C-alpha cells in the first residue's frame, strides 16, 4: 500500500513540491522578518553560476558536497553585496541588484560555452522540471527514490535541525541583533549560516523549480503566515501548511490545465497569500477596514466630545458649542455632522437644546478620560 503510494509519480511530484516549499519557508521566515527577502532572489539567481561550475568540475550535481559547493556562490553574493554597502558608495538595494545579475550572467555565458558538456539548458535554469523528478532515481534500501526527493528531504531536515537547535538564538538575533551581539551570540555568523542553508536549499530545489520560482517558495508562505500570526513558532507551522497545500493544489490544477507544475505550485502560494491578505482575522484587509471604520466612527464622537469640553468654559462657547460649528469649525460636511451628532445623542454623550450643544456628565467623563494622559 505504502509502497504503491511511494512509487506513484504524482505522489513523488507533490512530495517534492511540498518539501521544496517547507525547506524554503523555514529559512524564508527569518529573511522576511529581517527585511531581507530580496536576498533570496539574489541567491536564487547566482547559484546558477555555482551549479555550472560544480558540474564542470565534478560532472555530478546531487551529492552533499556538490550542493555545498554550488551554495558557496550564494554566500559569495551576500558577501559581495555587504562589501559594496560597507564602502558606502552604493545603497543596499542597488548593491543586491548589481551583484546577482553579474554572477548570473557569468553562469549563463558558461552554459553557452560548455553547452555540450552541461546537463542543463538555460530553459531549465528558469523553470525547473518538477514533472520529471521521477526520471532520476537512486536505490535506497531496495526502493528507487528520486534524487530530487532525497536532496530536498535532506535540506528540509537540515534546515529544521538548524532552526530547532538555535531557535532562541535565531529569534533574538532577528528581533534584537544588538542585544544578541552584546550577549555574544554572533548574529552575523548565524545569519551567514542561515543564508548558506538558503543557498543550499536553492541548489537542491533547482532541478525541481528552477532559480526564480524558488523565490516564491521562500518569501510567499512566510509572508502569508506573517499576516496570520504574531508567534514565530506558528509562522513555521502556517508556512509549512501553505507549502503542502500549494504543492497538492498546484499539481492537480497544473495537470488539469496542462501547464507548468512548478509554476502552478508557486502561483498557489500566492493564492494562500491573497486569502491571508484579505481574510486574516487580525491583519487582513477586511478585518482592518471594519476595525478602522469602527475606530473612525468612535473617533468622530470622541472628537466632538473633546471639542465641546475644550470650549465649555470659554467666552466663545456660544460660537463653538452649537450645531453650526460642526460644519464651520470642524469642517465636517452636512451628512457627517448629522451622523456624528445623532450618534452622540444616541450614546447620551451630548444634550441638545435648540442649537446649543452641551456635554452630559457621561460625555464630560469621556473627554476627561481622553485628555488625561496628555496633561488633561
Q: Which of 52, 306, 349, 357 binds another protein (CB under 8 A)?
A: 306
* Number of residues forming the site for another protein (CB under 8 A): 83
Single residue of 124, 229, 255, 303 touching another protein by CB under 8 A = 303
- Residue 177 found at the interface with another protein (CB under 8 A): no
Per CB under 8 A, does 295 bind another protein? Answer: yes
Of 288, 351, 362, 368, which lies in the binding site for another protein, with binding defined by CB under 8 A? 288
Tally of CA atoms within 13 A in the half-sphere of 172 that contains its CB: 15
Instruction: Return the half-sphere exposure (C-beta side, CA atoms, 13 A cut-off) of residue 2.
Output: 1
Q: Which of 200, 307, 349, 366 binds another protein (CB under 8 A)?
A: 307
Q: How far is the CB of 5 from another protein (least distance, A)?
A: 27
Q: 359 - beta bridge partners?
A: 350
Q: Of 84 and 208, which has the nearer Cβ to another protein?
A: 84
When binding is defined by CB under 8 A, the residue of 59, 119, 291, 351 that contacts another protein is 291
Min. distance of Cβ 310 from another protein in angstroms? 5
Task: Using the minimum distance from each CB to another protein, give the nearer residue, 150 or 262.
Answer: 262
For residue 189, how many other CB atoms are within 10 A of its CB? 10
Query: What SS3 string covers the chain?
Result: CHHHHHHCHHHHHHHHHHHHHHHHHHHHHHHHHHCCCHHHHHHHHHHHHHHHHHHHHHCCCCCHHHHHHHHHHHHHHHHHHHHHHHCCCCCHHHHHHHHHHHHHHHHHHHHHHCCCCCCCCHHHHHHCCHHHHHHCEEEECCEEEEHHHHHHHHHHHHHHHHHHHCHHHHHHHHHCHHHHHHCCCCHHHHHHHHHHHHHHHHHHHHHHHHHHHHHHHHHHHHHHHHHHCCCHHHHHHHHHHHHHHHHHHHHHHHHHHCCCHHHHHHHHHHHHHHHHHHHCCCCCHHHHHHHHHHHHHHHHHHHHHHHHHHHCCCCCHHHHCEHHHHHHCCCCCHHHHHHHHHHHHHCCCEEEECCEEEECHHHHHHHHHHHHHHCC
CA distance to 61, 73, 228, 276, 287, per residue, from 280 (Å): 41, 38, 5, 5, 7
Over the window 263 to 282, marking each residue x when it contacts another protein by CB under 8 A and - when it does not, the resulting string is: xx-xx-xx--x---x-----
| Interface stretch with another protein, choices 1-9, 53-61, 147-155, 330-338 (CB under 8 A) | 330-338
Q: How far is the CB of 10 from another protein (least distance, A)?
A: 18
* Residue 252 interacts with another protein (CB under 8 A): yes or no: no
**Which of 150, 349 has the CB closer to another protein?**
349
Q: Based on the shown chain and the rule CB under 8 A, indicate whether residue 112 belongs to the binding site for another protein.
A: yes
Nearer to another protein, 75 or 96 (CB): 96
200 counts as binding another protein under rule CB under 8 A: no
| 365 makes contact with another protein (CB under 8 A) | no
Minimum CB distance to another protein, residue 160 (Å): 22
Q: How far is the CB of 76 from another protein (least distance, A)?
A: 14
Say how far apart CA 308 and CA 359 lie, in whole Å: 7
d(CA 136, CA 206): 14
* 245 belongs to the binding site for another protein (CB under 8 A): no
Residues of this chain, 48-107, that bind another protein according to CB under 8 A: 84, 87, 89-91, 93-94, 96-98, 101-102, 104-106
Contact call for residue 358 and another protein (CB under 8 A): no
Q: Among residues 193 and 253, whose Cβ is nearest to another protein?
A: 253
Single out the segment in contact with another protein by CB under 8 A; choices: 145-153, 186-194, 220-228, 349-357: 220-228
Among 190, 215, 341, 366, binds another protein (CB under 8 A): 215
Q: Is 348 left (phi over 0), alpha (psi -120 to 50) or beta?
A: left
Q: Looking only at residues 20 through 59 of this chain, which bind another protein when binding is defined by CB under 8 A?
A: 32, 35-38, 40-41, 45
Q: Is residue 256 near another protein by the rule CB under 8 A?
A: no
| 371 contributes a contact to another protein by CB under 8 A | yes
Q: How far is the CB of 54 from another protein (least distance, A)?
A: 19
Amino acid at each position: 500500500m505504502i509502497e504503491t503510494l511511494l512509487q506513484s509519480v504524482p505522489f513523488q511530484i507533490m512530495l517534492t513540491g511540498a518539501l521544496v516549499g517547507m525547506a524554503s519557508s523555514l529559512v524564508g521566515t527569518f529573511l522576511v522578518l529581517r527585511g531581507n527577502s530580496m536576498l533570496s532572489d539574489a541567491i536564487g539567481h547566482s547559484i546558477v553560476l555555482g551549479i555550472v561550475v560544480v558540474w564542470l568540475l565534478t560532472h555530478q550535481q546531487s551529492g552533499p558536497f556538490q550542493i555545498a559547493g554550488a551554495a558557496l556562490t550564494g554566500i559569495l553574493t551576500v558577501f559581495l553585496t555587504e562589501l559594496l554597502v560597507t564602502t558606502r558608495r552604493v545603497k543596499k538595494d542597488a548593491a543586491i541588484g548589481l551583484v546577482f545579475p553579474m554572477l548570473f550572467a557569468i553562469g549563463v555565458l558558461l552554459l553557452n560555452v560548455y553547452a555540450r558538456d552541461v546537463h542543463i539548458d538555460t530553459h531549465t535554469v528558469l523553470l525547473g522540471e518538477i514533472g520529471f523528478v521521477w526520471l532520476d532515481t537512486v536505490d535506497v534500501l531496495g526502493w528507487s527514490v528520486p534524487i530530487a526527493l532525497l536532496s530536498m528531504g535532506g535540506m528540509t531536515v537540515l534546515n529544521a535541525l538548524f532552526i530547532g537547535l538555535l531557535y532562541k538564538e535565531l529569534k533574538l538575533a532577528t528581533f534584537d541583533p544588538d542585544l544578541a551581539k552584546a550577549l555574544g551570540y554572533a548574529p552575523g555568523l548565524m545569519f551567514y549560516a542561515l543564508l548558506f542553508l538558503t543557498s543550499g536549499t536553492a541548489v537542491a530545489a533547482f532541478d525541481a523549480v528552477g532559480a526564480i520560482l524558488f523565490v516564491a517558495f521562500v518569501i510567499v508562505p512566510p509572508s502569508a503566515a506573517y499576516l496570520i500570526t504574531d508567534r514565530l513558532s506558528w509562522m513555521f507551522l502556517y508556512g509549512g501548511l501553505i507549502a503542502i497545500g500549494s504543492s497538492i493544489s498546484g499539481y492537480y490544477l497544473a495537470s488539469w490545465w496542462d501547464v507548468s507544475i512548478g509554476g502552478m505550485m508557486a502561483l498557489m502560494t500566492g493564492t494562500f497569500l491573497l486569502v491571508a491578505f484579505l481574510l486574516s482575522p487580525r491583519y487582513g484587509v477586511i478585518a482592518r477596514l471594519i476595525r478602522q471604520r469602527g475606530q473612525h466612527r468612535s473617533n468622530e464622537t470622541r472628537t466632538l466630545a473633546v471639542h465641546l469640553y475644550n470650549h465649555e468654559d470659554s467666552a466663545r462657547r456660544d460660537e463653538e458649542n452649537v450645531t453650526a460649528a460642526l460644519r464651520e469649525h470642524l469642517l465636517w460636511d452636512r451628512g457627517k455632522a448629522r451622523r456624528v451628532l445623532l450618534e452622540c445623542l444616541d450614546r447620551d454623550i451630548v444634550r441638545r437644546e435648540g442649537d446649543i450643544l452641551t456635554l452630559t456628565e457621561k460625555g464630560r467623563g469621556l473627554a476627561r478620560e481622553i485628555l488625561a494622559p496628555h496633561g488633561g
